[in-house]
Each structure stands twice: as structure tokens, then as C-alpha cells.
Structure 1
Amino acid sequence: MRPLAILGGTFDPIHIAHLAVAWEASELLDAEVRLMPAAVPPHRPPPVADATTRVAMLRAALRGQDRLGLDTRELARGGPSYTIDTLTELRAEEGDRPIVLLLGADAFAGLPQWHRWQALFEAAHIGVLSRPGGARAWPAALAEEVAARQVADPRQLHGQPSGNVVELEVTPLDISATRIRSLLAAGRDPRYLLPDALFDDPALLAPYREHALPEQLP
């Protein structure tokens, strides 16, 4: 059964690196990938753009292709966006379909600080998005949990609903939403960092151009 992979984030705004890693993960896993914007991320400041604007940006960015999709359930649910709640919902809907939670290497290393983190392995596989040749630094509790779960071949995730961890080497793109917000707030035009479709509607980027940010450009 073709897996369902989830890439969460604030997408504030959605940028090229988000799309690139989602696309590569879809190819490596032979999976449907859904981008899932968070309502209230528990471990970071609230987004600059409201939920309606972020969804509009995602719809514009994903238009015209059939590999990546959008899932807005965390916005509809409201409140803190705990990943285990989302995966529990998806598991109830998808039955025994393999589900893969996609996490960047840094986010994965911090997994033991997440709400009910060990339960995540029962609800889904985890695909760790890593740079080719990147160093691995996992805390002891995480390394112990992963030891018996790690597989080398992404195709092995097709055989069961959850429980495995696979590293997915994706092309590193050093693009940050923080930098993009600073550029927009400074009146700059970050072409080639954002999907072209976001420039077609000035209202999509207006929240960032109007927002006074503490980040300073170098």
C-alpha cells in the first residue's frame, strides 16, 4: 500500500526548501505527501500570517502538480498542534496504510522533548530528512528507542503501518522563513526563495511587508 507522508510546519511563509524536501521525500518513499500547517506550534512563537493566509499561500504553491497535497486538520482543530493527536486521527482514518512523519534532522534529535514522543512510533514511521554525509547527534534516550527500528531501505516502510525509522538524504537548501520574513519587512523581493505563485497576489505577502520584525538583516 502506498504510504501517506506528512510534513508539518508553520509555513510562515511556504518557501522553496519546504517544497523541495517534500518532493524528494515523495520520490524516495513512493508516497503521497501532505503539507500540514500547524495552528499553534507548542515550541515556537505564533506565526505572523493568519491561518487563512497561510492556507492560501500553500494552495497557490501547490497548484498545478499532483505529487504534493494539503491537509488543514490542525488548523480546523485549533489549539496547540500536538503531533500525536494528528497521527491518531490519521490512523483512525487510514487503517493499516503506512503513515510516515517527516522530520528534519534537528527536529528529530529533539524528539524526546515532544508531547508523548514514544507513542509517535506506534502511530507512524518516521522519515528523517538529512543532508548527505551529515553528522548524527541523537540523545541517548532517542538512540535507544531507534536502535531496533531503523531501516536502510525506504521501501521497507511499505510493509507495515508504523514503527520504523529511515533516514532520507535530501538536497540541502539553506533557506529560512526567518530570513525571508526579514527581507519582506525590509521591502526586498525574495524571488527564487518563494514559489512564483506567491508573487501573483500581493495580499499573500502583505502580512510580512507590514510586520515589524526583531530580526535584523546582516
Structure 2
Amino acid sequence: MQQVQPRVAMFGGTFDPVHLGHLRSAVELREALGLDCVHMLPAARPPLREVPGVSAEHRLELLQLGIGDTPGLVADGRELKRSGPSYSADTLTELRAEYGDQARLVMALGHDAFLRLADWHAPERLFELAHVVVMERPDHGAALSVALGELIAGRDVQTADQLMASPAGGLLRLSLPTRMAVSATEVRQRLASGRSVRYLLTAEVERRLLALGLYGAGDG
């Protein structure tokens, strides 16, 4: 009898702060790929983005509050414990060691991050360790760079079943059902100017943000 291999995703980001778009995408990603677990990982020092103005510890705390008891989602703080930039290849190496050589390991990312994938640290290594799943947006019309085109050549698959036929190496472009148009930038701007963020964040995240006075917010 063939052994059923774990299906696990890494969903990283600054989560600055985590909002309903992040959380809903993680839930729909898990459903679409039949995943056992989605590790949501706040980056301590994202190599290709500005360092967030809010501490990694606070971003992890808000992520834990946002996830709550949602089945299959895990707030994973491992990148906060490492020194230096938060390289996805290092995180995938750890996850691969934990789940085994035959586990179906996925790195999920948004379209904007995907367009810069060839600039990441050790991009070829990412495909050796995992599949890449791009959570597409309705307006994803940007052309691919030559370097990115070369990196992903021959890796495209069309379905989740095709992707999960092997442990790593594939690329799936996935249109999630909801695709909520929420951005962390907009949330931060609203908080800084005293405008409402109700229904952009979970109630627990909103309460904690206000209590801590993060992003220029306050509880009055």
C-alpha cells in the first residue's frame, strides 16, 4: 500500500500587519491543494523589501491572534530566531528536513513576489526543495523578465494533482476564489490617520493593535 505523503506549504511575508486577505488566502490555498498544514512565517529581515517598522515579535503575535483556532494554519516564528536576512531557501531546507524527502512541499507567494523570484537568494535551490505556487491576482498582466522565464522554463503544471505527483520542482499558477483586495499598506495608512480598519483585520488583531498603539494607532 502506497504511503500518503504530507502536503505542507510555506507562506511567508512581512505580515505588516496580517490582514483578512492574508488569512483568507491561506485558507483557500489549503483547500485548493489539499494541504495538511500551511506554515505562515513572518520575515524578520526580508532581503528585497524595507525592514518593517513594527518588530518581528509584534508581527508574530498579531499573526497568532489572526489565525486563532483556524484548522491547518500555523504561525511559525522560526525566521525570527535566525540572524541575518530571512532567506526562503533556508526555511525550506528546515521544513524539508522536518517532513522528509518525499513530502509534498510548497512555497506559496503572491504575483508581485513571483515577478522578482529570479532575484531571490539561490532561486534554483527553491525548486530543488519545493514546488512554487503563485497566488494570482485579477490584474496580473506584467511581463516576465528573461531571467525569470529561464528559471521557470518547463516547470509549469496545470492542476494541483499534477503538482502533487512529485515532492518538488513544479510551478502552479493558482487563482483563489476570493482574492480579497486588501493591502497592508492601506491598513497602515488608515491606522496612522485614525481611520477605521474594521473588517480589514480580525477583531482580535484590531483590538491588540489599538491597545499597543502600533502603526500610529491608539485606543483613544
Equivalent residue number for residue 166 of structure 1: 172
Equivalent residue number for residue 123 of structure 1: 129
Aligned-residue identity in percent: 42
Alpha-carbon separation, structure 2, partners of 1:17 and 1:141: 29
1:20 CA displacement: 1.4
Does residue 1:21 correspond to 2:25, yes or no? yes
Instruction: Report the residue type matching 2:95 in the other structure.
Output: L
1:122 CA displacement: 0.3
Moved over 6 A (4+): none
TM-score by length of 2: 0.89
Does residue 1:199 correspond to 2:203, yes or no? no
Alpha-carbon separation, structure 1, partners of 2:137 and 2:189: 26
Does residue 1:208 correspond to 2:212, yes or no? no
* SS of 1:184 mapped into structure 2: helix
Aligned residues: 211
* SS of 1:6 mapped into structure 2: strand
Equivalent residue number for residue 30 of structure 1: 34
Equivalent residue number for residue 113 of structure 1: 119
5 Å matches for 1:31-180? 31=35, 32-95=37-100, 96-132=102-138, 134-135=140-141, 137-170=143-176, 171-180=178-187
Could you tell me which of 159, 176, 189 is aligned with 2:196? 189
Query: Alpha-carbon deviations, 1:22-47, whole Å to 9, x = none?
Result: 11111111112111000111111111
1:203 CA displacement: 5.6
**CA separation of 1:94 and 1:186: change in aligned 2, threshold 3 A:** same
Contact 1:48 1:207 in 2 (8 A): no
> What is the alpha-carbon root mean square deviation over aligned residues?
1.9
Contact 2:20 2:202 in 1 (8 A): yes
**CA separation of 1:100 and 1:64: change in aligned 2, threshold 3 A:** same
Gaps of 5+ in 2: none
Alpha-carbon separation, structure 1, partners of 2:140 and 2:52: 29
Q: Which moved more, 1:95-104 or 1:134-143?
A: 134-143
**CA separation of 1:133 and 1:188: change in aligned 2, threshold 3 A:** closer
1:13 CA displacement: 0.4
* SS of 1:159 mapped into structure 2: coil
Gaps of 5+ in 1: 212-218
1:205 CA displacement: 5.1
Contact 1:39 1:51 in 2 (8 A): yes
Q: Which moved more, 1:173-182 or 1:35-44?
A: 173-182
* SS of 1:20 mapped into structure 2: helix
Alpha-carbon separation, structure 2, partners of 1:201 and 1:136: 37
Contact 2:9 2:39 in 1 (8 A): yes
